[in-house]
Amino acid sequence: MSTLKLVISESQIQECVERLAKLIQADYQDQPLLVVGALNGSFIFLSDLIRHMHLPIQVDFIRISSYDQSTKSSGAIRLHHGVRTSVVGKNVLVIEDIVDSGFTAQFIREYFEDQGAATVRICSLLDKPARRRTSVTVDYIGFEVPDEFLVGYGLDYNQQYRHLRALYSLDELQIPLM
């Protein structure tokens, strides 16, 4: 059994979600917005975030991966499926669970720019700059976190722990490194 250590509480997350929603709403001020969740990790964050925003919103999802069953990003980004909604001429806000190496966020930004989006911004609940391997702009950041493997609130390890309401570090001694 893995050992979990609380890093960010449920109440801290909810305060952060409200703060980010207000910033986003102020920036878009009644402009239509396509909110795109990067599956699987962002779905809980996206759901909470859009309930605090009073904007004309469409929601879609993109499925990408770079982790597989490891605790470290492989750096190879795979697009499993793109959005079904046309992004041409739209303001796109991508919701990420965590930005660490920066490769996934960079890939997503370029993907939507190439698809003809009017604007592309990225909102990430978590930012792990100690792991950054490429320069990428994250427009809205919830928390800067240390270089620990985190689970909960949508983040997983091998499809486990997503359901937890807070964020926890997972004891790396208990994780088989791949």
Model confidence over 37-63: pLDDT tens digits? 998 889 999 999 999 999 999 999 999
Distance in angstroms (rounded) separating the CA atoms of residues 168 and 18:
21
Q: Exactly one of 100, 114, 147, 156 is catalytic; name it.
A: 100
Place of tokens 């930004």: 109
The CATH code for residues 13-146 is: 3.40.50.2020
Three-class SS of 108-148: HHHHHHHCCCCEEEEEEEEECHHHCCCCCCCCEEEEECCCC
Quick check: is 114 catalytic? no
Write down how long the chain is.
178
The tens place of each residue's pLDDT in the chain, 178 residues long, gives 568 999 999 999 999 999 999 999 999 998 999 999 998 889 999 999 999 999 999 999 999 877 555 455 556 788 878 889 999 999 999 999 999 999 999 999 999 999 999 999 999 999 999 989 988 999 999 999 999 999 999 999 988 999 999 999 988 645 544 3
Q: Which two tokens stand for residue 158?
A: 């091998």
C-beta neighbour count of 108 within 10 angstroms = 22
Contact 153, 13 (CB under 8 A): yes
Distance in angstroms (rounded) separating the CA atoms of residues 126 and 146:
10
Distance in angstroms (rounded) separating the CA atoms of residues 85 and 42:
18
> How far from chain centre, in Å, is Cα 68?
16
Place of tokens 């046309």: 86
| Terminal-residue alpha carbon distance, the chain | 18
Cβ burial of 139 (10 Å; 0-12, 13-18, 19+) is middle
Model confidence over 123-140: pLDDT tens digits? 999 999 998 998 899 999
Q: Which of 60, 67, 69, 63 is nearest to 100 (CA)?
A: 67
